[in-house]
Amino acid sequence: MKIFLNISLAAALFVGGVYLYADDDEMEHARPAYSKPLSKQDQASAALYKKECGACHMAYQAGFLPKRSWDKTMKGLDNHFGTDATMDAADTKTIQNYLMTYASKNDRITDMKGAVALRISQTPHFVKEHREITQKMITQPEVKSIANCTACHTKAETGSYREREIHIPNYGRWE
Ligand code: HEC
Ligand code: HEC
């Protein structure tokens, strides 16, 4: 963990990435960079990603999952959580490349069973962070699914998940 933290911080300084912490006293949980700054060439790809993959839900930041997760997701779009999310071959390739470039460098991220994670919401880190969320908070009509990040994280679209920005419908602010 210590080594990982040091590498993360070094990486943050190196790429100038944005690192988020739950609290200042939770420094031991170094956050991955959910969204690295975009290079100029990648802005068009990011816009395409938002358009295509943000049509049914938020365009989740690539940095939540490692490369192999995105690879598996992009190869299974014809049966994507019970829907057909396929698009033309050129767009698929552009988005695949985009997700690979901005994926988490932490290849140890898996799902709860140790398999390739397709859901951010079923990774151990996510489950741990959300352990205090009750079923009632999730099943209410304003939220419906734990995958509906923007229902609670008011700035999720911008890649920001700070505690002070959390507002759970009908429960209020988290702080
Ligand atoms: C029902 C409301 C709700 C939904 C939906 C939800 N979250 Fe959260 N999330 C929370 C709360 C509350 C916390 C803070 C938990 C704590 O500190 O105990 C949190 C914490 C986090 C954190 C840690 C923040 C930090 O600064 O450490 C991240 C990252 C995060 N959520 C990402 C997501 C993503 C990505 C999604 C969608 C896939 C999502 N959340 C969906 C309520 C929600
Ligand atoms: C036709 C609608 C549709 C499109 C387009 C779509 N998705 Fe989804 N996606 C879904 C549904 C439905 C779910 C399951 C949501 C839930 O459980 O609440 C989902 C879930 C996900 C999840 C898991 C969320 C979590 O952590 O639980 C990821 C990751 C994801 N989609 C990525 C993508 C990517 C990448 C694209 C673009 C290539 C994409 N989606 C396009 C419908 C879509």
- pLDDT tens digits, one per residue of 11-59: 333 333 333 433 333 333 334 455 677 888 899 999 999 999 999 999 9
Q: Would you state the pLDDT for residue 34?
A: 58
Q: Would you state the pLDDT for residue 146?
A: 98
For the chain, the average pLDDT equals 84
Q: Would you state the pLDDT for residue 153?
A: 97
Say how many Å lie between the CA of residue 119 and the centre of ligand 2.
9
Lowest mean pLDDT: which of 15-24, 73-82, 122-131?
15-24
| Atom 26 of ligand 1: nearest residue by CA position | 22
Residue 60 CA: nearest ligand 2 atom is 29
Burial pattern 10-23, b for ≥16 Cβ within 10 A else e, equals ebbeeeebeeeeee
133 Cβ closer than 6 Å to some ligand 1 atom: yes
Radius of gyration from C-alpha coordinates of the chain: 16
6 Cβ closer than 6 Å to some ligand 2 atom: no
| Atom 43 of ligand 1: nearest residue by CA position | 152
